[in-house]
Structure 1
């Protein structure tokens, strides 16, 4: 799969089908090897003699001075050699200005591992090349490279921290020692998945100066909103199995005084890379935040490594859930606010990291020493509306012994924390040892403003253990909702309670029984993998003034059988004025516009024909191809300079467009290609803004693979994090659309 944003071609990145994207630079011969990670091919760099070998990209790639660029590759070599990767900066006359090198790997490895580097293009640089380097002990030693990337930095969408603080790929300037520590960058040998593009080679290495506690702190202070829960996480690599390694999310007031902190301690199963999470609601006086990490009771010289450090708004396991992430995920030490209100059950976070989880790395362990019932309850959470239906839901996994039943219910409280009683709940039997989804619905009673998730778990044997994960409590909204947005020319379809990792197909059905697939970000939504339990789809190709509904199918991964279906209500997208029509770009709905029709096309249908005169016969013999689609001129009017500019933008791309007129005007919805377009004034008056456009239309087929462009999860917070000033944004993006789509000039 192509790496998003990669300036390198697929052949250069994946070394398939050949090595044509690479050339030797120093002491090397190149060939294509097998056993690659992305496809079978890989680049073999073979040393001619002992010493450093180098290979570089054949092509140079345009860069802008002052902009940070990023390169990485997966590498594997002989057991006695390490490697590094570099960005070679070139002038406009192809002269080398400098090379920005990564730190060499800390050890050699014959297994695939990641190396990477990032740096700012220097003054005078107009192009760059990627350079791969290894120092070999002798002649005829092979080094292997594949999965190569060069382009703009790849960062976690939604991260409040900048790219260098997250990745340490440029330098370690985003971090400061707090106590008993020095900071450096190291490249340990880590076998990341080939598609784990957020993980690079460099890690932040904290070294304890002396025995005792040691810690470091990110110097960035991104702003936060009081009352919002934030999540900090990173990969930690502890020095020993017995290490006490931790990450902290810290909040500061406007004067940079620390006002709150949440620590999350790693329970390592080894000395690899383990993602650890800490979450906390920003207090009322919080203005900024940061991330700290460290070791308790460290020995002198011990090293803690950090990779992919992120602070972001904490997610919800169900859209609208009122439970905090900490209470729902159990990623921090302890029971995350859950208590045993009756019975003998004890509560604790599972240990070690990765022992049992459905999300993250931990779950809540409910341990019953006797074969009795225990009641376990979460903390209270506000957000309840009396008279509305709410759903409590958990995932449960019998880990030891047996459980005769688990009842899930909701306990209600008023604004004064008075107990209003619990719902009846649903009782479940857990026949095996899988993860089971346990939901229960109830209507909030009068005066209820708060609620808690409550479990009654009955052990059927002594020493029984039940693991709980992904708790949620939310107001139940319609699973499927539709709304016609007439002003925008689209129907909004909202799908809730989708099953993660299942595959989704969405059909648009008309009253005459015809149906068509609906378009999404990756093209027509046909067996697309579900990545969120809620999906909002804007159907910009819905017909005008025609009643439609939507039919949704979910499939288990890889299955050919429909697992579940649902349908929407009927809805009609309206265009009242028959003098208007819609012109739409299916892949760029932000360009769609409603325009005035001056004259509809007079259609022609061309056909390829050849006529032959047969001697002695009166009539010619004519051989014909198939008659082609409609062709004709659509004459439009724009009424202002703004409309004129918008129509130029719509036509600039040359994409296939969708033309929609009001039904009854003698033309159906039609996909069209637009030829050369004259733009004429409607009067000789110089300040006249009206324009007459003649659009030569040629009928086209439905574009199947075109996906709907969008922000891909980016928000204004990402823009604020990446750019220091508004001028930086203006210098980077030519238009608002370029900002939306992150297309940098």
Structure 2
């Protein structure tokens, strides 16, 4: 699948099926090799002609805007270190300069990431990607594939800027806090082929002397008191026994630090490990930041960082009242205690040994075959939860001995008084692998708080139980559909889906006909689930007829069916028979309801050739397949806003959906609109009414067109990248461009 936002063509990016997107720049020849992972097995083989630096460049150049930051990366492999550059060209296609990455610290024959980012200089109007290495002889090969040039790719929702998250531009967003110097390196670090957030440059924190060393991000994004935030980074410790940590800090409006929460890495080796820390912003918090460090370092030891993120903590299950720290155990056991019994509670160790969400789990160990009660801290419930149903879930794994459990919730009122316990009957916990155990509970009428409470009984001495992804949430319908008449759409909500599986969504009509529903990447057929909650806005549902949905999920490994659900029906109100909808399937924000002046007189052209055979009465006719409907739709716009809206809808030239009220003698049609005519209605000059002639040609339903939208992008992401509204005006032509992150020159 092509890299989203790539200025390079798919052939240039993946080297499949050929090397036509590339050209030699210095001391090299190019050929296609195998072993690639993007789009096929092809990769670019850059072979040196003689000793010395060799360079390959993209055959084409790509438009850029001076002052805008661009990002380039490639996966590389070879026996000599490599670097990547962005070659800036002026209007005459002459080279202005090349922005180079640092060279990798060592050669590696496994695929590893090289990357660079920076602002296009004054005078730059086009750019090329350049890949370089310096072999000591001829006939030395450097391989490259999975190549990108475009706007920076950053974590959606990150409060930190791209520069702070990746250090691809510089280390300028970080400062040495104690006993450290900062720099950058490009280790031969391997990333998954579709992990576009992983880059080449890493921030280095070098201890200047023996003792503790730390670095602090100098950015101070705003936070909301009472909101839980999550910070994480890939940390590369200098030695196995290193005590490395990440810290989430909060500051008041005067810049004074008022809270710091630390999470220590229990490293299993000296690779790169993602370590997480979560905390609620305290009452006086105005901003936050993140720090990373090492305790007890030796002079000269280096800690490396990659992909640093601070974001609002995601719920482990949609609607869960259990905070991230208490449900994921990434930084410890949070508020969990053992009120009775002999069991001990601890975070699992080392990193990556046990865990469902993240890399750690709660470890419950009982030295005797007895019962123990384990309980979380108290968590506030949504307003009006008294008497409501909740669902409790936790992932469990028995790693020694055996266990049974009573799984439940202890409830508290507003005065913190215990108002009862609701639990499941005692049952055995499965003995192999991870299992999600869930049960439904009902809150007492006066309950305003809840604590998860399990009574676990070891069935053998030295039994060990792991728990992770603990969640408690209101038990809402698993699938629901509602009509939104104002936008002529249906909203489908599906809850408690298996994250990581592949989901398919069908629209079902009363006659049983099924049609795939459109999502961000096209029709939703085996789309990876990134959350247990799926919300789909279906703007292509027909008007005035009952519609339901069928949703199924399949394992991303085996393709076996894991869940299936069928919704009830909902109907979009058909409305005035004189009105019709014109919709852009990929840009529903442009959809418009217009008044129909006259329906088309349809034609169905066909390609035919008639041959008159001498001596025969009838001709021999060779005919192609008769084409779909063609005709001219006449509509009115009744105001200047409608007129502007129709121009906006038609500007892209994309396939549209025409929907008339049922009973008007025409089915929903996907159409291409030809040359339009806009005319005054014949009244006074000030009359805002306009008459339009829209030539329509029936086309097939577009299958690969995705629904454009924010994709999770919010003002948080905008504030992380732009300091002022003036900066926005220089970067985006329209508000829609801002929403979709379509920058000028991008």
Band the TM-score falls in, shorter-chain normalisation: over 0.9
Distance 1:417 1:130, change over 3 A: same
Distance 1:543 1:427, change over 3 A: farther
How far, CA to CA, are the matches of 2:631 and 2:282 in structure 1? 64
Residue in 2 that maps onto 1:48: 49
How far, CA to CA, are the matches of 2:430 and 2:378 in structure 1? 31
Residue in 1 that maps onto 2:352: 354
Q: How do 1:303-342 residues align onto structure 2 when only pairs under 5 Å count?
A: 303-333=302-332, 335-342=333-340
Structure 1, 471-480 or 93-102: larger mean CA deviation: 93-102
Distance 1:146 1:562, change over 3 A: closer
Structure 1, 8-17 or 168-177: larger mean CA deviation: 8-17
Cα deviation, 1:50-98, whole Å, max 9, x if unaligned, reads 22222222211111111111111122221xx322111111111122211
How far, CA to CA, are the matches of 1:366 and 1:560 in structure 2? 34
Residue in 2 that maps onto 1:28: 28
Is the CA contact 2:578–2:595 (under 8 Å) kept in the aligned structure 1?
A: yes
Distance 1:649 1:241, change over 3 A: same
Give the SS at the match of 1:55. Answer: strand
Is the CA contact 1:426–1:439 (under 8 Å) kept in the aligned structure 2?
A: no
Cα deviation, 1:361-393, whole Å, max 9, x if unaligned, reads 101000111111211111100025101111111
How far, CA to CA, are the matches of 2:102 and 2:557 in structure 1? 42
Distance 1:173 1:456, change over 3 A: same
Residue in 1 that maps onto 2:656: 657
Residue in 2 that maps onto 1:301: 300
Task: Using the TM superposition, give the Cα deviation of residue 506 of structure 1 relative to its aligned residue in structure 2, in angstroms.
Answer: 2.1
Residue in 1 that maps onto 2:271: 272
Residue in 1 that maps onto 2:515: 516
Task: Using the TM superposition, give the Cα deviation of residue 559 of structure 1 relative to its aligned residue in structure 2, in angstroms.
Answer: 5.0
Residue in 1 that maps onto 2:674: 675
Give the SS at the match of 2:11. Answer: helix
Task: Using the TM superposition, give the Cα deviation of residue 455 of structure 1 relative to its aligned residue in structure 2, in angstroms.
Answer: 1.4
Structure 1, 614-623 or 342-351: larger mean CA deviation: 614-623
How far, CA to CA, are the matches of 1:211 and 1:40 in structure 2? 48
Residue in 1 that maps onto 2:362: 364
Cα deviation, 1:313-344, whole Å, max 9, x if unaligned, reads 001111111111000100003x1111112111
Is the CA contact 1:426–1:440 (under 8 Å) kept in the aligned structure 2?
A: no
Task: Using the TM superposition, give the Cα deviation of residue 560 of structure 1 relative to its aligned residue in structure 2, in angstroms.
Answer: 6.0
Q: How do 1:463-474 residues align onto structure 2 when only pairs under 5 Å count?
A: 463-474=462-473
Task: Using the TM superposition, give the Cα deviation of residue 725 of structure 1 relative to its aligned residue in structure 2, in angstroms.
Answer: 1.1
Cα deviation, 1:73-131, whole Å, max 9, x if unaligned, reads 122221xx322111111111122211111112122222221111111111111111111
Q: Does 1:75 align with 2:82?
A: no
Distance 1:47 1:618, change over 3 A: closer
TM-score, structure 1 length as denominator? Answer: 0.97
How far, CA to CA, are the matches of 1:552 and 1:171 in structure 2? 46
How far, CA to CA, are the matches of 1:596 and 1:695 in structure 2? 13
Distance 1:320 1:249, change over 3 A: same
Task: Using the TM superposition, give the Cα deviation of residue 202 of structure 1 relative to its aligned residue in structure 2, in angstroms.
Answer: 0.8
Please identify runs of 4+ aligned residues in structure 1 that moved more than 6 A.
none
Task: Using the TM superposition, give the Cα deviation of residue 628 of structure 1 relative to its aligned residue in structure 2, in angstroms.
Answer: 2.7
How far, CA to CA, are the matches of 2:564 and 2:188 in structure 1? 47
Is the CA contact 1:410–1:425 (under 8 Å) kept in the aligned structure 2?
A: no
Give the SS at the match of 2:531. Answer: coil
Q: How do 1:509-588 residues align onto structure 2 when only pairs under 5 Å count?
A: 509-557=508-556, 562-588=561-587
Distance 1:537 1:615, change over 3 A: same
Is the CA contact 2:420–2:444 (under 8 Å) kept in the aligned structure 1?
A: no
Residue in 2 that maps onto 1:646: 645
Is the CA contact 1:344–1:370 (under 8 Å) kept in the aligned structure 2?
A: yes
How far, CA to CA, are the matches of 2:638 and 2:535 in structure 1? 33
How far, CA to CA, are the matches of 2:607 and 2:148 in structure 1? 47
Task: Using the TM superposition, give the Cα deviation of residue 548 of structure 1 relative to its aligned residue in structure 2, in angstroms.
Answer: 1.9
Structure 1, 384-393 or 547-556: larger mean CA deviation: 547-556
Residue in 2 that maps onto 1:595: 594
Residue in 2 that maps onto 1:170: 169
How far, CA to CA, are the matches of 1:701 and 1:241 in structure 2? 59
Give the SS at the match of 1:533. Answer: coil
Cα deviation, 1:589-619, whole Å, max 9, x if unaligned, reads 1111110111112222333333333444444
Residue in 1 that maps onto 2:378: 380
Residue in 2 that maps onto 1:702: 701
5+ residue gaps in structure 2?
none
TM-score, structure 2 length as denominator? Answer: 0.97
How far, CA to CA, are the matches of 2:692 and 2:440 in structure 1? 58
5+ residue gaps in structure 1?
none
Q: How do 1:433-512 residues align onto structure 2 when only pairs under 5 Å count?
A: 433-512=432-511
Give the SS at the match of 2:589. Answer: helix
How far, CA to CA, are the matches of 2:502 and 2:179 in structure 1? 51
Is the CA contact 1:376–1:454 (under 8 Å) kept in the aligned structure 2?
A: yes
Task: Using the TM superposition, give the Cα deviation of residue 561 of structure 1 relative to its aligned residue in structure 2, in angstroms.
Answer: 5.5
Q: Does 1:66 align with 2:67?
A: yes
How far, CA to CA, are the matches of 1:37 and 1:608 in structure 2? 44
How far, CA to CA, are the matches of 1:402 and 1:112 in structure 2? 43
Is the CA contact 2:74–2:146 (under 8 Å) kept in the aligned structure 1?
A: yes
Cα deviation, 1:516-545, whole Å, max 9, x if unaligned, reads 222222222223222211111111111111
How far, CA to CA, are the matches of 1:24 and 1:628 in structure 2? 48
Residue in 2 that maps onto 1:227: 226
Distance 1:608 1:522, change over 3 A: same
CA RMSD after TM alignment: 1.6
Distance 1:701 1:25, change over 3 A: closer
How far, CA to CA, are the matches of 2:306 and 2:127 in structure 1? 26
Task: Using the TM superposition, give the Cα deviation of residue 568 of structure 1 relative to its aligned residue in structure 2, in angstroms.
Answer: 1.6
Cα deviation, 1:373-420, whole Å, max 9, x if unaligned, reads 2111111000251011111110001111222x2221111011111111
Residue in 1 that maps onto 2:429: 430
Residue in 1 that maps onto 2:420: 421
Give the SS at the match of 1:648. Answer: helix
Structure 1, 363-372 or 20-29: larger mean CA deviation: 20-29
Distance 1:611 1:311, change over 3 A: same
Give the SS at the match of 2:269. Answer: coil
Is the CA contact 1:409–1:426 (under 8 Å) kept in the aligned structure 2?
A: no
